[in-house]
């Protein structure tokens, strides 16, 4: 039935004023057009959005080399990353955890070692205050001191703010990774069982 409708539409048996009443096509061409149109799924289904069977598609040796040049100064495969793939067997979770540590909390992943929160030192003309960073924007910085006191300061003239974020190297590296780098490092980390 569908082929009949497509054939009728193409040959001009069904047409509207905006359509040409006839297209010079052969029955074989009509069959090809019909076959092509039937490859589309209903409701805008896009095959490119299919989740791949596995994201472990990178080059392990290239991942090891990249790890050695960018990550090994802070991480060790015999220390903090020993048995990583056994603790995080899902490659997607493992990939997300190394790209941005702390971002997988509450997503069904095993509880990772919580990254240390960023610290901040606020230097005023009269005092220096430091603690755990709670919030920062263009106008204020808020922190919690060691005794649990919460303090906020307006930034601007005479106020210096120095943030020490242990995840800053990860944030800086995010801009440099290619897709291949991400796949290669993930494939390498999946070997750390």
Phi/psi of residue 109, nearest 5 degrees: -85, 155
Q: Which helix (H) or strand (E) holds 153?
A: strand 150-154
**pLDDT value, residue 7:** 58
- Specify the number of domains making up the chain: 3
Residues 35 and 80 in one domain: no
Residues 129 and 155 in one domain: yes
Residues 92 and 130 in one domain: no
Residues 78 and 97 in one domain: yes
**pLDDT value, residue 117:** 84
Print the domain residue range for 174.
60-114+169-189
Average pLDDT per consecutive 10 residues, the chain (193 residues; last block may be shorter): 56 55 73 81 67 89 96 92 91 89 60 74 94 93 95 91 90 92 96 94
Residues 67 and 110 in one domain: yes
**55, part of any domain:** no
pTM of the prediction?
Answer: 0.61
| Cα separation, 40 vs 180, whole angstroms | 30
Please name every residue paired with 154 in a beta bridge, in sequence order, or none if there are none: 140
| Cα separation, 68 vs 58, whole angstroms | 16
Show the CA angle centred on residue 135, arms to residues 133 and 136, nearest 5°. 100
What six digits make up the tokens of 81?
A: 């990353």
Residues 184 and 93 in one domain: yes
| Cα separation, 143 vs 129, whole angstroms | 9
């Amino acid at each position: 039935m569908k082929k009949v409708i497509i054939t009728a539409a193409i040959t001009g048996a069904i047409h509207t004023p905006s359509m040409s009443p006839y297209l010079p096509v052969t029955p074989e061409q009509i069959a090809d057009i019909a076959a092509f149109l039937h490859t589309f799924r209903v409701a805008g289904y896009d095959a490119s959005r299919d989740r791949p069977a596995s994201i472990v598609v990178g080059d392990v040796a290239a991942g090891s080399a990249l790890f050695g040049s960018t990550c090994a100064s802070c991480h060790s495969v015999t220390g903090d990353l020993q048995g990583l793939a056994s603790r995080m067997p899902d490659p997607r979770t493992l990939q997300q955890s190394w790209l941005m540590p702390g971002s997988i909390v509450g997503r069904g992943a095993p509880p990772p070692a919580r990254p240390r929160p960023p610290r901040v030192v606020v230097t005023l003309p009269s005092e220096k205050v430091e603690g755990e960073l709670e919030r920062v924007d263009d106008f204020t910085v808020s922190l919690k001191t060691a005794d649990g006191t919460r303090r906020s300061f307006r930034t601007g003239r005479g106020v210096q703010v120095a943030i020490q974020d242990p995840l800053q190297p990860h944030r800086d590296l995010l801009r440099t990774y290619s897709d291949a780098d991400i796949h290669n490092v993930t494939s390498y980390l999946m070997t750390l069982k």
